[in-house]
Amino acid sequence: MRRGFVAIAIGILAVGALAATRRAAGEAPPAGGTRADVLRLADGTVYLGTFRAFDGATIEFQAGDATLRLPRRDVVAILLSSPAEAQAAILTGAPSANPEAETAPDLGLTGLWNSPEWGAMRLVQKGRRIYGTYDWDGGQIDGYIQGDEIRFWWWELTPHGKPFADADLGQRGDGFFKISPDQRAFTGAWRYASGMKPDAPPTAAWTAQKQGPLPADFQYQPPAFAIPEAATKW
């Protein structure tokens, strides 16, 4: 499936009473290793800047001198990247908003896993998307595969199938798993939502080992995919 931006507009958008201005599309990215994340909106607009935070409902993004605070529903994807990677993303297309529809190798990740930290995990891989449940406090997990990592959001104490944003701030966050070469083990870490910022450290480790196929009676209908590419390894 071809991935790309519907339209490209790199610029600075002022919030509230500030006037909107746009930069020329050919402007060079920040120099000297400065972060140059890519923010893609539902209307096709794209900004270069720095992802700052996400509280479950609002995404904060620094674009030039302006701080954007955007409803989650208006954001299609965020690509965290170096300046060179950001430029490449604009030229070749950013990650899709629907990893489930993307072609991806079957890594055999669907199945029953055991996490020493959080109990049994039941995971389903569809394309680049991976989702499922874990035992601790009725946990849910949803994310995407990027190379040999899974970048995901977790949330707890909400009915299965309810989205990440329905969970309290103290019962949700993000994390990552490094996939072992034999695809039978994860090593990674997690954070609370209050720490979901690119420079924030992990809260604790999260590991898991593959146990076998999914239980025959496993039934889980995940919420519509709403995890932007900002679910990230920090």
Bridge-based pairing state of the strands 111-115 and 46-54: unpaired
Q: How far apart are CA 23 and CA 26, in angstroms?
A: 8
State residue 179 phi and psi, 5-degree precision: -85, 130
Q: What residues contact residue 220 under an 8 Å CB cut-off, 6+ apart?
A: 122, 124, 131, 132, 133, 160, 161
Mean pLDDT for the stretch of residues 72-76: 79
pLDDT given for residue 112 in this prediction:
98
Structure tokens at 106: 């079957």
Count of Cβ atoms closer than 10 Å to residue 11 Cβ: 19
Q: What are phi and psi of 7, to 5 degrees?
A: -150, 155
Query: What integer pLDDT is reported at residue 102 of this predicted model?
Result: 64
For residues 123 and 147, the model is more confident at 123
User: Does residue 169 register a pLDDT over 50?
Assistant: yes
Residue that is written with structure tokens 């944003």 in the block: 165
Query: Rounded to 5 degrees, what are φ and ψ at 231?
Result: -65, 105
For the cut 60, the answer to whether the pLDDT of residue 76 exceeds it is: yes
Q: How far is CA 128 from CA 102, 145, 151, in A?
A: 6, 5, 10
For residue 78, the model assigns a pLDDT of 74
Share of the chain above pLDDT 90, in %: 35
Is the pLDDT at 121 greater than 50, yes or no? yes
| Whole-prediction pTM | 0.62
- Domains, the chain, in order of start with CATH, read 11-95 (2.30.30.100), 100-212 (2.40.128)
Residue 232: what pLDDT?
Answer: 56
